[in-house]
Chains A and B, each alone.
Chain A
């Protein structure tokens, strides 16, 4: 999961070097932060408390922490996170660790607003302590280094959040596409594909692949494509239907087109598209009867 994000965000040795360079994080910055580790350790408890004061003080962000034990757990993680800033390193292991934060936030649905605000408080708390306990020049330098690293972390958290979000969207789209191409087995050897909505090139490919797989799986001999739910049949849709028919034929099955409205029938004729490669029936019910007869079967009335 996190390794996947390392790849997605293009973080290898080179990607990391370039990101670090853009945030102007130098080895001196890291070394400087490491010298203040003792100070960080002595205040870490208080910093984390104050951070959660903010997060638990708002009903929207509070909702992400269901009970006391989960609060204790995240505080512990936060402790480690905070001290991580003063380790004096910013290597691949550091980044991998930071990426977990963004991915975890996306998983629970914590939007950037909440952690950007939290990062803000983080910075102010760090500033207060550094200025309170170091000489002005030293504090100034330390604050600059800490700001660079915190903003760097923030960029990782947001980039991961976005990448994870895109993954979620892609998964949903795939699920919707699957749902919108249900291939139904209506009888042994007979498949039905009810098409609904606009058929664009992308969907057409998907539909053809799904259908062909099923024809093989079910050893289908007849495929009914019902277009009652398709708003229009232009040359592109017709072309896809014809190509599907041809591929289905290569697998040893015949295609029956049903659900053709009078308007679509006339439009197809005027366009000049030859769909004689498919059997056609106006109604789905008639298509099913035809499919069965192609298999040498028929629907008969029950004997009295």
Chain B
């Protein structure tokens, strides 16, 4: 499925401040695409979670925030890339409640529930790429 990309911002994710920048960008694009307030809150929160994972677990990386369209539907696509340790036990990380950082361990599983499409590509020792999309309602 190829989506039409209407705009794209590439942002670094190397500091706490970058996490805030990425999530503000995601929020602005989501609003501009016409997503409703609940969907905007959902994708903004997912952006915050995934960017923070890139920063803390992936040892930093970068993010793309894109405005996308598919079959006339408007959406936001977020991609987070890092060259960190990767996730050894993906199904456990996605199940929720598991954290290697003595945190709640809900960011990854929660983000998955907050968005419409969720894709994760992780290789132990190589890094992780997470791509999510949130669509505006018709």
Contact = CB atoms under 8 A, between A and B. Distances in A.
Interface of A: 198, 200-202, 231-236, 238-239, 242, 262-264, 266-267, 270-273
B44 interface: yes
B52 A267 contact: no
Given A234-B48, A272-B109, A267 B104 contact: no
Contacts of B107: 234-235, 271
Contacts of A198: 20
A227 to B, nearest CB: 13
B110 A264 contact: no
Contacts of A239: 103-104
B103 A271 contact: no
Contacts of A271: 45, 49, 106-107, 110, 113-114
Nearest to A202: B16
Nearest to B36: A263
A239 B23 CA distance: 19
A292 to B, nearest CB: 31
A236 B96 contact: no
Given A272-B96, A272-B109, A273-B110, A267 B103 contact: no
A79 to B, nearest CB: 49
B103 A270 contact: no
A236 B52 CA distance: 9
How many chain B residues sit at the interface, stated as a range, is 20 to 34
Nearest to B111: A271
A232 B103 contact: no
Contact of A264 (B20, B41, B96, B109): B41
Interface string B99-124: 00001101101100110000000000
A271 B52 CA distance: 15
A53 B23 CA distance: 55
Contacts of A201: 16
Nearest to B53: A235
Given A234-B107, A235-B104, A272-B113, A267 B49 contact: no
Contacts of A263: 37-38, 40-41
B42 interface: yes
Nearest to B19: A200
Contacts of B37: 263
The 5 closest A-B pairs by CB, nearest first: A271-B110, A263-B41, A234-B48, A270-B113, A235-B107
A240 to B, nearest CB: 10
A273 B104 contact: yes
Interface in B19-47: 20, 23, 37-38, 40-42, 44-45
A266 B124 CA distance: 33
A66 B82 CA distance: 58
Nearest to A238: B104
A134 B21 CA distance: 63
Contact of A270 (B23, B104, B114): B114
A47 B104 CA distance: 69
A202 B17 CA distance: 12
A272 B110 contact: yes
Contacts of B113: 270-272
